[in-house]
Amino acid sequence: MEKAFVAQRVAKKLFVTEAAVDGALSEAAELMSEMLRARKDVNVSMVFADDVQVKMMEAMKALSEARTAMVAVHSELNEAKLRLGVRTKMSGQDKPPLMEAPATTTLRGVG
């Protein structure tokens, strides 16, 4: 099988894995936010379920470390691709879309 096609197959899986890790981190952050909001909504002390919040932060840290590892994997696979002599890039439609930059706002003085 041609090296370029093998590289594209691996790249597709890489992009899916990267998106999955980002998605998991995003969902975990939303869960943390929901947990904090729920505590306020039921009007309980901050010490209520504090151990759960600590565990959630540990999980988010692990997901963040996994994301950093995936960035390193991406870089190393790119270097391996070049060592194999594969110079082609995947078409933009196979690669997941980049997150859009937030719209800029203009600040104005008040007063």
Domain boundaries, given as residue ranges, for the chain: 3-83
Cα 8 versus chain centre, distance: 21
Q: What pLDDT sits at residue 88?
A: 73
Q: Give the separation between CA 48 and CA 12, rounded to whole angstroms.
A: 44
> Tokens in use for 91?
């078409």
How much is the pLDDT for 107?
61
- Give residue 4's Cα distance to chain centre: 26
* Distance from C-alpha of 94 to C-alpha of 89, rounded to nearest angstrom: 10
The pLDDT, as a whole number, for residue 25 is: 98
Q: What is the pTM of this model?
A: 0.73
> How far apart (Å, rounded) are the C-alpha atoms in residues 74 and 80?
10
The DSSP symbol for 64 reads H
Tens of pLDDT, residue by residue, the chain (111 residues): 799 999 999 999 999 999 999 999 999 999 999 999 999 999 999 999 999 999 999 999 999 999 999 999 999 999 999 999 998 775 544 555 555 555 555 665 665
Note the pLDDT of residue 47.
93
Q: How many CB atoms lie within 10 A of CB 73?
A: 13
- What is the Cα–Cα distance from 45 to 80, expressed in whole angstroms? 53
